Structure 1
Amino acid sequence: MFCCGSGGAEVAGLTNLTEIHDQISGMARCPYNPLHNSTALITSSGELYAATAMDFSGRDPAIYRSLGGLPPLRTAQYNSKWLNEPNFVSSYDIGNFTYFFFRENAVEHDCGRTVFSRAGRVCKNDIGGRFLLEDTWTTFMKARLNCSRPGEIPFNYNELQGTFYLPELELLYGIFTTNVNSIAASAVCAFNLSAIAQVFNGPFKYQENSRSAWLPYPNPNPDFQCGTIDSGSYVNLTQRNLQDAQKFLLMHEVVQPVVPVPYFMEDNVRFTHVAVDVVQGKDMLFHIIYLATEPVWEPGTHTVVGICC
């Protein structure tokens, strides 16, 4: 059985959350293993977006849409250029898009195995392809998020662990850590939604084949489908457009934070969760950042700290 929270109740017009009205399979909507990091949301029109492992082994991760009035869609199966062993962190319904934030093995990094943090998105009115990319997103794109300590050789916090979105400011806070096998360090970076959107409108990073270099390629279809296709219509789904949608996924530019230096950095600690409260001061607004941490010297214990920006 798949259970929805208050968002689902609001969509269905329910007033009693203790009464079961329907039973829905959790397959492709909930992970088989509680250790598989997943995220999900329900839109105001009743569509369920879930980013999770689709199979028991966890080898088939997907961003999947179901329920509601639009056709079910997912990311391409067993294709590392779409998703490469991702750990999903969060998801948000913003404007014409559904955004997903996650970390994954970087396919564009040629020197060993490296994890990068990503912002991904799809158009909410995406209806999939026709003959090509059937039942598959035609608008899925992803970009790297940069959170680093600047210098002649920047110190990168590559692994996104949690986010908190302030819709009134269109500002996303993220907590990033180093790899679990390296020296423990964590940082807080903030990103404007406009900076993320700007990168998605720019060129793609494209590799012709497995032996060729990753090169920039102009964006042939900015916001493909968004605002151009009504639900149920196949206008503009040309073979060329679908071929482009199939191979152009990764953005060339990197999303940069609001300021080049992280708002907060801490060594020997790994941040796990973040929440932000905006408080009106005498002369200005203050952002109070609450961080849950897991000190490396006491495995399994947690503390919460608050900082002010």
Structure 2
Amino acid sequence: MSAASRMTILLTGVNGQVGFELQRSLQGLGTVVALNRHALDLDKAEQIRRAVREVKPSLIVNPAAYTAVDRAETETDAAVRANAKAPAILAEEAKRLNAALVHFSTDYVFDGTKEGAYVEDDVTNPQNVYGSSKLAGEQAIAATGCDHLIFRTSWVYGTRGKNFLNTMLRLAAERDELSVVADQHGAPTWSNTIAALTSNVLAQSVALRNDDAREWWHAHGGVYHLTSYGATTWHGFAEAIFELAGIDKKPVVKPIPASAYPTLGKRPANSRLSNDKLVAAFGVRAPDWREALRLCLAAD
């Protein structure tokens, strides 16, 4: 695909945190056909195939997913359909159209027992259904042989939807004291950061002519980690939210172990992901998590 020819981009999950941001950031790269769940439901295989074949995209960008980590433990089939089977269908259709696929995955493909930051080639060992279904999606995409990029991210938040940031801001107005887990480590990552870096990476291929673009995908395709820089705990994230949001009467944030806040889906103690491969391949670098949080709160 060349810069002179306006390519068609099929974007799923446009009402989600990352999908909403991608709809804006992808605009300069081609004609974006943004589909919500009514038009492309990850639970309906034939609808997925029909939507892709009607749009005939050169690029499919798939941020849509089943993200209810705890509910996935009892709704396993639904999680697998959305996170494993749907990406497989998108990849199969991309392969048939000679198109490329961008997909988003998670830190939860790892078990969290490593001391340092995980790199892309570390052994995966998901500890919950959500992580297992996302890993199955990664593997299914690779198995089709389509041109693809898979971006693993972590602790996604934004001003839209259900996420830790919005939950903390709501609870701050309701309670004087909060208990927040302090022994799980990761990088809170703003949905805008994910969209901006994804678009920056894709712009590098869009600027190339057909043969060079195909070679670019062959050379760069695969799995990459894409998170904010630095790391904190959920407790540290909560305290930063209250500090940077300028809340007059901040609740007391009490640190607790994960064992004191049991959940159906087990979370990894270490969710830190290394971004070195992303930086080396594409020259893009996410901001530090605190700086991104500051920008997010200022943009609200």
**So what's the TM-score if we normalise by structure 2?**
0.29
Query: Structure with the greater relative contact order (CA < 8 A, sep ≥ 6): 1 or 2?
Result: 2
| Structure having the larger proportion of residues in strand | 1
Comparing both structures, which one devotes a greater share of its residues to helix? 2
Indicate the structure (1 or 2) with the bigger Cα radius of gyration: 1
